[in-house]
Amino acid sequence: MDTTQLLKGVLDLTVLAVVDGEDAYGYDIVRKLRDSGLTDVGDASVYGTLRRLYAAGALTSYVVPSESGPHRKYYGITPAGQGQLKQQSEDWSHFSTTVTEILQGARA
């Protein structure tokens, strides 16, 4: 099954969840998502999501200079972002439970 469409719906949630643990830079987030099993997640989608969440005030960003190369841009979660994460997590739990039940009911 093509998971691209499904991913779109949960990208905000997953990105917020990753950043909630500890501040991370874009590629770091991409890697964590992929390592967690979302192997089809597109790099550009993650960066676009970061941009949108940042513009919405859910994320904060800061630059960390590097001595050997270009600087890194880190993202951290804001209280607003934490609120959004909590809300969306609940929505997702409810949603996924509902979908799971429907699927189980259909089989039964």
Partner 1 sequence: MTSTDAEANVAPEVRLFLAQVRRELADLDPEVLSDITDGLEADFTELVGERGPEALGDPVEYAKELRAAAGIPAGSAAPRGLAERVDGLLDAGHDRFDAAVAKLGELLRTDLGPVVAWLQPLWWIVRAWAAAWLVSAMFGWGVSSAPGVVLLIVAVAVSMFIGTGRVWPGGERGTGARVVLLGLNMFAAFVLFMSWAGGVLGSSAEYDRGWQDGYSEVTGVTGDGEPIGAREGVYSGGKTVTNIYPYDASGKPLTGVQLFDQNGKPIDVAVQPDCTSTVADPLPPAVPDEDGIITELCMDENTGESLQARIFYPWSNGAAQLYNVFPLPSRVQPTMDRDPNAFASDGAPAIQEPPLASVPKASLPGVATSSPSASPSASPSAAEKP
Q: CB-wise, 56 or 103, nearer to partner 1?
A: 56
Length of the chain: 108
Query: What whole-number distance in Å separates Cα of residue 89 and Cα of residue 32?
Result: 18
DSSP assignment letter at 57: T
Regarding 47 and contact with partner 1 (CB under 8 A), the answer is yes
3-state secondary structure of 65: coil
The residue from 1, 35, 39, 44 that contacts partner 1 (CB under 8 A) is 44
| Helix (H) / strand (E) containing 74 | strand 72-77
DSSP 37: T
Residues within window 54-93 making contact with partner 1, judged by CB under 8 A: 54-55, 63, 65-66, 68-73
Based on the shown chain and the rule CB under 8 A, indicate whether residue 51 belongs to the binding site for partner 1. yes
Binding region for partner 1 (CB under 8 A): 8, 11, 25-27, 30-31, 42-49, 51-52, 54-55, 63, 65-66, 68-73
